[in-house]
Chains A and B, each alone.
Chain A
């Protein structure tokens, strides 16, 4: 049995334990923290055994599940999925720490977080399309409940919208998977859902041109990309902080991961032909997301739109088909995972302590909660792409790749980054400085359990910002498999 299987099973065991301990809700956070902590430590142990230099998937396991249809329980990690896998185990652990004060239906809440963790980890490690799809769907249900039960005022609307949007997208993906399954069986002579085997097949162009748009749609909804992004602001605004963190931190990454792993790797030729479409969508997301972020009064909605803008970087980086661009896109996924987690946590702190997230009703908070505001501005800096933070390396690589592939289109991409500086600084100015509304006079500074996860994230963001090589080394293989060129070869 692979260590991945154990890591996938652990949260489920925890969730089951929570079910049994329903009568003692005060215990549930300890169960959750031990469980996610164990998964995180387990994933670190796994990381130490990962050979960055080796090609292909590691920690493989393949157990037949449904042989008549070629479905098996196959898991493994490679240089593309490993960073996202690690990101997930880390964020799930930090989110549980951050949720230390949740008492409303606590066993259910932590149980859902744990099931969600299994789902996301499964998506990143599945090597069988079928398994991939099942984990993909498993992710929806806990998030639906997290938004729908612990969410804000319009939670019921937001949770339904989230569920329907993403469910439709995943069903379209299922159709595409079905088509590829048969096409691959024609060539291979046997039925299999194995992702590596189907990737090896190589489809003809007409077929690719048919399947790629379906896959693109499915993953773009998740990423999300304008114009299928509308579920995201609603979901984020209504979701509790922990769900927002996971939604932005890891769930969106599923879209990017799917794009690379499935859409681009399986239909490379069609992907090149559709580049114009993808680039337009990406630019639309980058610029539209940034402009709309300016207009937001709700801090969380602002961050949600900035997420859309930043995910546009991922999309255009992938579309550039340039080693540096794709490198940047993958890096941006991890960077955004860490940074957006920080942003939403910071936003959650304001919500908890000041009682509102509306910028127009905030002001002068710096004097009341200096530590929280410092963390917030550092998170803003990171998200803006200030050199020294992870975001800088990611966005710069993407822009470099875009310039090499599409020339001056890069200016529009850069516009997104420039606008980010604007909306973040303006928002911070209105929140932290100026006159403080009277009702905020009593608000306290950040709690330790809120501070701790943010600090961890900050340290990581700065560390990887200054030492991107550490991470790039792990990701290199994924770029190679898409472009056939190594990032390091290019530099030489």
Chain B
């Protein structure tokens, strides 16, 4: 084992900083909620800058077990930025939850795991990092003690997550038994020599199923609706906007390992999963009367959308990354918007949205933009990701064309329920009066929600109007420093 030099330690600073900050937050006095918030937000921002400064570095540390390259930096910066948005918005939320310190400490620990994922070069690190993310987030839905749904949400999330971990580990044990290595690169090479073997396929299926749970692909999605709906909205934003996105990075790595030998099979398997996920997610979302649950199902559908890019490969992976970012921004912003609606109107059912366009014009406008972006209406960012996936898929033809068609039709289908919410907001008179904005200490005004919401919307619009910059960075990170090891 090589020892770490100081220079190499610098590359690990972002990870170490998070660890230190999480400990510091736990050492803060129990009532120092704002302080905890400040430390978390400031820490994430500092971390983001540190990661950015690593752009262009291409190195391995710790004996090749940890890679620092543009791909890793891109993912880290993206996830840190999203987490930062989420933390910024969470201020008002944690002002009234019982354990604010723990909330932020857990978030930071989850982020630590998420930072390790893109850099890991072997399955062990990958799985350990992902477990770190999972285990810390199992607790998050419980942040609100008086929310009875939170317990159910957490339990379902935990049980499905544990089950998924078991599947993943079993798949990995097969893989290890067969190839004799846990290193991603060696594993791929071993497969190239050994050729296709049924056991490897079993391992692939198990891994896809395991991470399918984490990505909430149908039929492994059943926990998602309950967990996303039952959790407090800021937590849901984090789960669906940040941690779930980490699972996609892991999935991408596994696909790349397998792509040498099993490309057609993996494409078919994952392609079918994605097609089913999109369709089922959208059809279920169509039936929901609770907008939060609707968005939860739409998150499931969007997971399918993102997967399509992985299946198609090539430029479409850039599309996937753009869509990951787009959906994460939309989900985080949308769940904050829902939290505002919950606090000001008492619920998030369809009738709570009636007449919102007149009652809260600013919020309604932001929500409308978000919903249109969800539905893939140009020129919002939600459109570009889909477009960058669909166009290469059409170019490839065959099965990919079918997949593109399914994506497109689903996108149209999804607009039905997004438009239904818009219709409630603008075309129906209000039935439920606004609750007065509570400005006391226990129930803050919701300014931090607004801030995070508008920051996300601004980013969506900015990236949507100038998509070039984003796609250039994504494609340079993906194709120049490829691959995930």
Contact = CB atoms under 8 A, between A and B. Distances in A.
Interface of A: 65-69, 133-134, 137-138, 140-141, 144-145, 148-149, 155-156, 159-160, 163-164, 167-168, 171-172, 174-175, 178-179, 181-182, 185
Contacts of B270: none
A133 B379 CA distance: 10
B59 interface: no
B427 A156 contact: yes
Interface residues of B, number: 31
B405 A175 contact: yes
A171 B409 CA distance: 7
Contact of A163 (B387, B404, B419, B472): B419
Contact of A67 (B392, B423, B468, B475): B468
Contacts of B412: 164, 167-168, 171
Given A164-B412, A175-B408, A181 B379 contact: no
A185 B419 CA distance: 36
B9 interface: no
B347 interface: no
Nearest to B427: A148
A175 B419 contact: no
Q: Which 8 residue pairs spanning A and B have beta carbons closest together?
A: A182-B395, A178-B394, A178-B391, A134-B378, A148-B427, A171-B408, A168-B412, A66-B468
A279 B419 CA distance: 35
Given A66-B467, A140-B377, 18 more contacts: A66-B471, A68-B468, A69-B388, A69-B391, A133-B378, A137-B378, A138-B378, A141-B372, A144-B419, A145-B427, A148-B423, A148-B427, A160-B420, A168-B409, A178-B390, A179-B394, A182-B394, A182-B395
Contact of A159 (B392, B394, B411, B427): B427
A98 B314 CA distance: 53
Interface in B451-474: 467-468, 471-472
The binding surface of chain A is classed by DSSP as helix
22 contacts: A66-B467, A66-B468, A66-B471, A68-B472, A134-B379, A137-B377, A149-B426, A156-B423, A156-B428, A163-B415, A164-B412, A164-B415, A164-B416, A167-B412, A168-B409, A174-B387, A174-B390, A174-B408, A175-B390, A178-B394, A181-B391, A181-B395
Contact of B391 (A65, A134, A182): A182
A192 to B, nearest CB: 13
A160 B415 CA distance: 10
Contact of B395 (A148, A149, A171, A178): A178
Interface in B419-456: 419-420, 423, 426-428
B394 A171 contact: no
A178 B388 CA distance: 10
B423 A141 contact: no
A104 to B, nearest CB: 12
Nearest to B408: A171
Contacts of A175: 390, 394, 404-405, 408
A133 B408 CA distance: 14
Interface in B72-115: none
B62 to A, nearest CB: 35
B394 A148 contact: no
Nearest to A22: B361
A149 B391 CA distance: 35
Contacts of A66: 467-468, 471
**Chain A CB within 10 Å, residue with most, of B377, B409, B419, B428:** B419
**Chain A CB within 10 Å, residue with most, of B391, B405, B420:** B391
A159 B423 contact: yes
A36 B372 CA distance: 27
**Chain A CB within 10 Å, residue with most, of B404, B426, B427:** B427
A135 B369 CA distance: 17
A144 B428 CA distance: 14
Contact of A160 (B372, B378, B416, B471): B416
A185 B396 CA distance: 13
A133 B377 CA distance: 10
Contacts of B409: 168, 171
A220 B279 CA distance: 26
A124 to B, nearest CB: 18
Contacts of B393: 178
B384 to A, nearest CB: 9
A149 B426 CA distance: 7
Interface in B109-138: none
B371 to A, nearest CB: 11
A452 B394 CA distance: 50
A192 B468 CA distance: 15
Contacts of A134: 378-379
Nearest to B471: A68
A237 B471 CA distance: 44
B247 to A, nearest CB: 28
Given A178-B391, A178-B395, A178-B404, A141 B427 contact: no
A164 B409 CA distance: 11
B99 to A, nearest CB: 42
A159 B412 CA distance: 15
